[in-house]
A and B are shown apart, each in its own frame.
Chain A
């Protein structure tokens, strides 16, 4: 497809008098590749394997380093273990009628499709004891182990246990395990893993003297289905409201589900309103300026084609389309309209009989801007191309979308528009020309002062940067657009359930025994860490590795030989010998009464047909892991702390820095092109305009928002694209009225489009919009200043204008 394009273009460049023949060929080529693209688009729409991605955490970069396979493995383990996290909702009910409300909710939920109540019933003590009976002499707690050398200690321990008012484990297991190691083990293990109190089988948390009844709910939602997520979210929230009113209780709920629903709804809403408002504003402006509907239709057509190109390219190359890409896609409108304005203005100028533009044939208008447009596109594409290499998929998606979209727009403007024979049909309203000329005059005056202007601005920029450091805040939580009440709910729920400082450490292994042994290594390390308030929850408290079980058994046998238990058994009047070792395996454990607990902590998954892997997680809470521990854990190839927000924040920071480097590269490329085309001095002037605009925009954004993030840098990329276009046109054509008009219209339309984005609730989008706004303002003022020559105004204008000032500026302009 691209080959045929290149050959067509080279033919076109042969500027012979076969214009119409060329035009026909050009048109044919264009239509050919347009059809090809449309077919591809249709295929993707109908049979494509791509998905829409809504979760901002999916922007996590894919690492291309050597440890990729290990990381990949870990990522798979984490997603296998925690995929259900996306499906979990927690509800906490408090108030006088909390229990009836709870019961009502439980009943209603059974009627909902795809939603189920996940409250775990506590396992029956007698069932658990019966299950462990064959393994009674393979398990013990660390505290019990410490007693094994001293018969008196064992004695005291047993008596202490037996004189408790009530201990169901002791009662239930005394007959089968009179050494009470089993009772101790089970009581400790179960209380560690089921640390919540229960009332009538319901988990209860007592906080601030108020009882909260907790119901965990599992929602069977496909993470990728936005509609489904929203539907579940609405269904549940409606029910919660109902219960609150009916029973007069306080209902607190939390869950990833609600955030996804809200943020996707917000993104959809913004996409539709921003997109619609932008389009309407721009089209209205076209109507006002050109007094004709034709440009509107043409602009729409060009826009549609460019969007189709962009979208097709993204879904073909990425198999995925992130919602945020669509939000940034709005910016394509601004640049495409820029191309359109240049085309329309040049077409209307070529139709004017008194125009000094010598092109007499209908394609003349477009021809005059062809070089500038192509140059502009190439430079912009080169600038964006650097982004495609970015591991951050959002950046590469946006870059691909923009490049292919602009390419489509360029082709359409250059090859299709001339076909419509528009030269006689589009004209600019005279009053607009008058305004433009006034503007041109003002810009010319500014141009005279340009050294001063540049000096002041550059100085201002540098000193501002020195005084008030550019401050980047990469925290991904800033980019979360969830409404405050949802975030508050999460915080309240975390406090209620004791999830603050809660961290999960994931371990992977090829078999269950290695997995459990590695877990024990980790637990030992955590225990020796001197972190007093650290609580650890793991399945190890109920399922030791087979190796450990064997050690336990040996210890018991040895103690028996040393007659450690003799006294205690004698007092009770019982006899009992330590069993021969019998291992308790994971598979056996999973067929017992504690299977539900095991499912929570351990997961078996398949990488490929014959490659099975195991993964488990342990949870630490109470206090955050110190850096020493974190370092030790990251040194282990099979262990990893699961901390998505921190990972993503670190990644964002990393890629923000990479973006800055990419900017430097893009600017160098641009400068080289400008210098090659326009000479060193002009090239450097152009560079100065671009850099001061971008830098100034960032600075102003920091002054308004207080900090910058990666999305401000993304905006800078767009400013660069627009700046390049403006600078090239000004340098190519000078301060001509058509150039000024086209660029002014473009700047206004871009301001309309991005001004709207600055109103977004998503901080990322708001940052982006604000920076572009500032950037457009600056580049609009600075780009003309980089032009070499000032406008030679048309004779018509000199006749119609009667201001002395104009004459003066004309003469000055001519001198320059």
Chain B
């Protein structure tokens, strides 16, 4: 269940990759009708290999301040996906053929079960299998100007809201919102508990992932 969030996250990442390739359809300032997300998706072409950084802020209802973490992420369609948190404490999430694994700061590796929804979503996202995404989520477009904490956007951003169709996932995840101009660079996971996670991503295409990363996958 922990990885339901990850699935959403990875889904959005793949969308952001699409954004990199995607050139023309998304004009800032225009109100999109409900077919636009599908249109956006239909021009979705994932990047094969990419790497980048992220900043994550978790807002817990019971805490005054968000818990902030930063790290790197690596993506290779053929090999898998690595989400590495470096501050404040090291931890890594790896998705590969064998499944979803988590490594904590003491280098202890554990396999995470109940990962199939995430695995499905992730794989469909990475492979560009949009029908699977559509089967897992209901899509709706919102084009509210979002003031993200890291980017003071003066122009309108396009946001797509994804609501999970699977009841089990819906128990934990209320909705996922992804926003961006040309690319998706900001996503928010809304949990049913009232907590939310905001992630800002900076991803670029590369020719090859670093050797150390490839060895992990």
Give the B-binding residues of A (Cβ under 8 A).
122, 124-126, 156, 159-160, 162-169, 171-172, 174-175, 178, 187, 191, 194-201, 204, 206, 572-574
Q: Out of B61, B114, B120, B171, which one reaches A124, CB within 8 Å?
A: B171
Q: Find residues 107-152 in chain B having any chain A CB closer than 8 Å to their own CB.
A: 112-117, 119-120
| B67 adjacent to chain A (CB < 8 Å) | yes
Contact A160 B116 (CB under 8 A): no
Contact B113 A196 (CB under 8 A): yes
Beyond A162-B58, A166-B172, A573-B64, whether A199 also contacts B166 by CB under 8 A is yes
How far is the CB of B195 from the nearest CB of chain A, in Å?
5
Q: Out of A166, A196, A198, A199, which one reaches B197, CB within 8 Å?
A: A166
Contacting residues, chain A, for B69 (C-beta < 8 A): 163
Q: Out of B56, B105, B112, B193, which one reaches A171, CB within 8 Å?
A: B193
Q: Which of chain B's residues has its CB closest to A199's CB?
A: B116
C-alpha spacing A197/B99, complex, angstroms: 11
Contacting residues, chain B, for A166 (C-beta < 8 A): 1-6, 9, 172-173, 189, 191, 197
C-alpha spacing A241/B6, complex, angstroms: 39
Give the A-binding residues of B (Cβ under 8 A).
1-6, 9, 56, 58, 60-65, 67, 69, 83, 85, 88-89, 91, 93, 102, 104-105, 112-117, 119-120, 166-168, 171-173, 189, 191, 193, 195, 197, 199
Contacting residues, chain B, for A167 (C-beta < 8 A): 2
- 19 additional A-B pairs beyond A163-B89, A206-B116, beta carbons within 8 Å, are A125-B171, A159-B67, A159-B89, A160-B91, A160-B104, A164-B102, A165-B93, A166-B5, A166-B189, A168-B172, A169-B2, A191-B112, A194-B113, A197-B115, A197-B116, A199-B120, A200-B167, A572-B63, A573-B63
Contact B168 A200 (CB under 8 A): yes
Beyond A163-B69, A175-B61, whether A191 also contacts B113 by CB under 8 A is yes
Beyond A159-B88, A174-B62, whether A165 also contacts B9 by CB under 8 A is yes
Beyond A573-B65, A574-B63, whether A164 also contacts B91 by CB under 8 A is yes
Contact B89 A165 (CB under 8 A): no
C-alpha spacing A166/B88, complex, angstroms: 16
C-alpha spacing A174/B115, complex, angstroms: 23
Contacting residues, chain B, for A160 (C-beta < 8 A): 89, 91, 104-105
Contact B2 A164 (CB under 8 A): yes
Q: Which of chain B's residues has its CB closest to A195's CB?
A: B113
Contacting residues, chain B, for A204 (C-beta < 8 A): 116
* 8 nearest A-B pairs in the assembled complex, by CB-CB distance: A166-B5, A197-B116, A163-B69, A175-B62, A159-B89, A167-B2, A168-B172, A171-B193
Q: Which of chain B's residues has its CB closest to A122's CB?
A: B168
How far is the CB of A125 from the nearest CB of chain B, in Å?
7
Contacting residues, chain B, for A124 (C-beta < 8 A): 171
Q: Out of A125, A159, A194, A197, which one reaches B172, CB within 8 Å?
A: A125
Q: Which of chain B's residues has its CB closest to A126's CB?
A: B193
Contact A197 B113 (CB under 8 A): yes
Contacting residues, chain A, for B105 (C-beta < 8 A): 156, 160
Q: Which of chain B's residues has its CB closest to A204's CB?
A: B116
How far is the CB of B136 from the nearest CB of chain A, in Å?
9
C-alpha spacing A201/B2, complex, angstroms: 15
Contact A125 B2 (CB under 8 A): no
Contacting residues, chain A, for B195 (C-beta < 8 A): 171
C-alpha spacing A122/B169, complex, angstroms: 11
Contact B89 A168 (CB under 8 A): no
Contacting residues, chain B, for A169 (C-beta < 8 A): 2
C-alpha spacing A126/B194, complex, angstroms: 12
C-alpha spacing A167/B112, complex, angstroms: 11
Beyond A125-B1, A171-B60, A171-B195, whether A163 also contacts B113 by CB under 8 A is no
C-alpha spacing A199/B167, complex, angstroms: 10
C-alpha spacing A198/B168, complex, angstroms: 9
Contacting residues, chain B, for A196 (C-beta < 8 A): 113
How far is the CB of B157 from the nearest CB of chain A, in Å?
22
How far is the CB of A479 from the nearest CB of chain B, in Å?
38
Contacting residues, chain B, for A174 (C-beta < 8 A): 60, 62-63
How far is the CB of B156 from the nearest CB of chain A, in Å?
27
Contact B168 A163 (CB under 8 A): no
Contacting residues, chain A, for B115 (C-beta < 8 A): 197
C-alpha spacing A198/B58, complex, angstroms: 26
C-alpha spacing A7/B5, complex, angstroms: 91
Q: 22 A-B Cβ contacts within 8 A?
A: A122-B168, A160-B91, A162-B60, A163-B67, A164-B93, A165-B83, A165-B189, A166-B1, A166-B4, A166-B5, A166-B9, A168-B1, A168-B193, A169-B2, A171-B60, A171-B191, A174-B60, A175-B61, A191-B114, A201-B168, A204-B116, A573-B63
How far is the CB of B207 from the nearest CB of chain A, in Å?
27
C-alpha spacing A159/B60, complex, angstroms: 13
Q: Which of chain A's residues has its CB closest to B193's CB?
A: A171
Q: Which of chain B's residues has its CB closest to A166's CB?
A: B5
Interface centre among A168, A175, A195, A196 (most CB of B within 10 A): A168
Q: Which of chain A's residues has its CB closest to B169's CB?
A: A200
Interface centre among A125, A178, A197 (most CB of B within 10 A): A197
How far is the CB of A127 from the nearest CB of chain B, in Å?
10
C-alpha spacing A815/B114, complex, angstroms: 93
Beyond A175-B61, A201-B167, A572-B63, whether A163 also contacts B6 by CB under 8 A is no
How far is the CB of B71 from the nearest CB of chain A, in Å?
9
C-alpha spacing A165/B62, complex, angstroms: 17
C-alpha spacing A165/B173, complex, angstroms: 12
C-alpha spacing A264/B68, complex, angstroms: 66
How far is the CB of A13 from the nearest CB of chain B, in Å?
82
How far is the CB of A407 from the nearest CB of chain B, in Å?
65
